[in-house]
């Protein structure tokens, strides 16, 4: 349902047109999606996703899912490659995931992000900082350009060092609980996760999987795009908490 018509229309207040502003409006439902500048160029979801689906085949056999926000302002295509895996230091296998997204109202380029699927527990991941802009912005005429498939695979393979960094950080019971509490304070996971991690010890990778398991499997009220956004926030948070300068 991502292929719906949108157009730019004037923004008015009390019958007066607002200068240098336009509204993005779904013409099928008449619903306004965003207020943008008058230089904004619409890049249709269908253009991005249709090209993404063709591009996905260049990376190999895959399964795909497409997620849309309730209003339709953002679309995300998720492509999963279970035969393209990397092994962590502890032996966990992570399959490649590629996310392609487009947003109405966002001036940035359409994006391709690299993620993963932990095959043992089917936890989703969104790698921090592993993002390619598709060289098409909502204010220009540049054609959509996807990265070379080899660059995506190399970036995915290189991401294993981030996971191994987490496997190297031992967390005794007290620290496991402390960092769990910090994750709750950061609104990454709810307080009820304490029941799962209390009296538990392990590594930062174990705690990461506790967090991502909640989002992937237990967060029943979240939308698919909401879950992806939270997975990205979790990865960024762990990257910040356990970067090399903080590991002894």
Taking residue 221's Cβ as centre, other Cβ atoms within 10 Å add up to 5
The answer to whether the CB of 48 falls within 8 A of the CB of 68 is no
Rounded Cα gap, residues 49 and 29, in angstroms: 21
Segment 167-176 shows an average pLDDT of: 95
Q: Name the β-bridge partners of 22.
A: 10, 36
Which spans in 125-203 are helix H? 149-158, 160-167, 173-185, 194-197
Residue 128: what pLDDT? 85
Do the Cβ atoms of 123 and 213 come closer than 8 Å?
yes
pLDDT band at 248 (very low <50, low <70, confident <90, very high): very low
- pLDDT tens for each residue of 90-109: 999 999 999 999 999 877 77
Q: Which residue has the higher pLDDT, 243 or 29?
A: 29
Element spanning 226, H or E: helix 224-241
pLDDT at 245: 46
Contact between 232 and 99 (Cβ < 8 Å) = no
Query: What tens digit of pLDDT does each residue of 100-143 get?
Result: 999 998 777 789 999 999 999 999 999 988 899 888 777 776 68
Average pLDDT taken over every residue of the chain? 92
CA distance 71 to 51: 22
Average the pLDDT over 27-33 and give the result: 95
pLDDT at position 147 is: 95
pLDDT of residue 247: 47
Quick one: pLDDT at residue 141?
63
Question: 242 falls in which pLDDT band (50, 70, 90)?
Answer: very high
Cα 245 from Cα 136, distance rounded (Å): 36
Predicted pLDDT at 165: 92
In the chain, % of residues over pLDDT 70: 97
Residue bearing the bigger pLDDT, 178 or 220: 178
Look-up: residue for tokens 């619903």? 31
Region 220-229: what's the mean pLDDT?
Answer: 91
* Three-class DSSP category at 97: strand
3 state DSSP class of 16: strand
Residue 43 has pLDDT above 60, yes or no: yes
Query: Residue 14: which region, alpha, beta or left (left: phi > 0; alpha: psi -120 to 50)?
Result: left
């Amino acid at each position: 349902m991502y292929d719906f018509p949108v157009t730019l229309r004037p923004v008015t207040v009390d019958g007066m047109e607002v200068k240098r502003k336009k509204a993005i409006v779904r013409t099928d439902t008449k619903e306004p999606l965003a207020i943008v500048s008058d230089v904004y160029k619409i890049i249709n979801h269908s253009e991005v996703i249709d090209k993404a689906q063709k591009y996905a085949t260049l990376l190999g056999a895959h399964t795909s899912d497409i997620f849309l926000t309730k209003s339709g302002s953002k679309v995300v295509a998720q492509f999963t490659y279970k035969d393209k895996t990397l092994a962590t230091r502890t032996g966990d296998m992570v399959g490649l995931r590629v996310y392609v997204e487009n947003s109405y109202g966002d001036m940035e380029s359409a994006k391709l992000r690299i993620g993963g699927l932990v095959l043992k527990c089917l936890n989703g991941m969104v790698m921090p900082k592993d993002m390619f802009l598709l060289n098409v912005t909502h204010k220009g005429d540049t054609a959509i350009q996807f990265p070379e498939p080899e660059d995506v695979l190399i970036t995915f393979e290189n991401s294993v060092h981030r996971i191994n960094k987490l496997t190297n950080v031992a967390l005794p019971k007290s620290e496991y609980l402390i960092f769990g509490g910090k994750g709750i304070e950061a609104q990454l996971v709810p307080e009820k996760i304490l029941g799962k991690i209390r009296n538990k010890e392990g590594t930062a990778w174990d705690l990461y999987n506790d967090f991502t398991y909640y989002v992937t499997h237990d967060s029943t009220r979240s939308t698919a795009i909401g879950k992806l956004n939270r997975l990205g926030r979790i990865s960024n948070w762990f990257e910040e908490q356990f970067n090399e300068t903080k590991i002894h």
